[in-house]
């Protein structure tokens, strides 16, 4: 669990997103677009949930996707 002040949330979101992108580039991996689920939305690459995003994050696991 990570606790953060509400006013620092957007800064933390950006930091975690940037770190994720750096890891992807460093590993030389790109995620291929996946087929849409029953909801018509693409599944989350981390947990497979196909649901609308909440603040650019997966509604189930919280992975920042956009």
| Assigned domain for 55 exists | yes
The whole-number pLDDT of residue 42 equals 83
| Assigned domain for 2 exists | no
List, in order, residues 6 or more apart from 57 with CB less than 8 Å away.
13, 63, 64, 65
Other C-beta atoms closer than 10 Å to the C-beta of 37 total: 14
| Assigned domain for 3 exists | no
The whole-number pLDDT of residue 27 equals 75
The whole-number pLDDT of residue 23 equals 82
The whole-number pLDDT of residue 11 equals 93
| Assigned domain for 31 exists | no
User: Domain tally for the chain?
Assistant: 1
The pLDDT averaged over each successive group of 10 residues in the chain (66 residues) is: 89 88 74 58 84 90 84
| Assigned domain for 25 exists | no
| Assigned domain for 61 exists | yes
| Assigned domain for 33 exists | no
The boundaries of the domain holding residue 45 are 41-66
| Assigned domain for 13 exists | no
The whole-number pLDDT of residue 47 equals 82
């Amino acid at each position: 669990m990570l606790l953060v002040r509400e006013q620092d949330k957007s800064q933390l979101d950006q930091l975690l997103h940037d770190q994720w992108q750096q890891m992807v580039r460093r590993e030389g991996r790109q995620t291929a677009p996946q087929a849409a689920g029953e909801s018509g939305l693409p599944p989350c690459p981390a947990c497979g949930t196909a649901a609308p995003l909440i603040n650019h994050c997966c509604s189930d696991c919280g992975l920042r996707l956009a």
